[in-house]
Amino acid sequence: MENAEWQQLVRDINLDVGGIIRGQRTLEEVNEELRGRKGRPIEEDFIHADALGHDPGVPRKFEVDGVEIETRMLHRRGMHQRDVKGADLLYEIAGRKFVLIQYKTPNRNRVKLDRRQLKELMGACPNACPPHVPGFWPTCGAWYAVRSTGISAYVPACKAEELFDDADSCSVAHFGSGLSHETFQQVFARCFTGARIAPMEMAYLSWAMLEADRVLFTVLQRGSFGR
**β partners of residue 87:** 84
What integer is the mean pLDDT of 126-132? 86
Choose the weakest-confidence range: 13-17, 110-114, 145-149.
13-17
pLDDT band at residue 3, thresholds of 50, 70 and 90?
confident
Q: How many residues does the chain have?
A: 227
| Mean pLDDT value of segment 10-25 | 80
Quick check: is 195 in a domain?
Answer: yes
Alpha-carbon distance values, 41 to 34, 35, 44, 49, 78 (Å): 11, 10, 8, 11, 11
In a domain, 16, yes or no: yes
Cβ neighbors of 205 (< 8 A, separation 6 or more) are none
Structural domain that includes position 165: 11-54+64-211
Confidence of residue 50 (pLDDT cuts 50, 70, 90): confident
Beta-carbon neighbour count of residue 26 at 10 Å?
22
Decide if 219 is inside a domain.
Answer: no
Distance between CA 61 and CA 216 in Å, rounded? 36
Instruction: Give the pLDDT confidence of 77-90 residue by residue, as tens digits.
Output: 654 556 789 999 99
Task: Give the bridge partners for 89, in sequence order.
Answer: 73, 101
Q: How far apart are CA 80 and CA 77, in angstroms?
A: 8
| Residue-wise pLDDT tens digits, 138-148 | 899 999 999 99
DSSP one-letter string for 5-21: HHHHHHHHHHHHHHHHH
Q: Is 0.75 surpassed by the pTM of this model? A: yes
Is 1 within a domain? no
* Burial of 201: CB neighbours in 10 Å, binned 0-12, 13-18, 19+: exposed
Q: How far is CA 115 from CA 65, 112, 190, in A?
A: 35, 9, 31
Residue 204, pLDDT > 50, answer: no
On whether residue 135 sits in a domain, the answer given is: yes
Residue 116 forms part of a structural domain = yes
142-147 vs 152-156, strand pairing mode: antiparallel
We report the CATH number of the domain holding residue 126 as 3.40.1350.10
27 lies in some domain:
yes
Per the structure, the count of domains in the chain is 1
d(CA 141, CA 156): 8
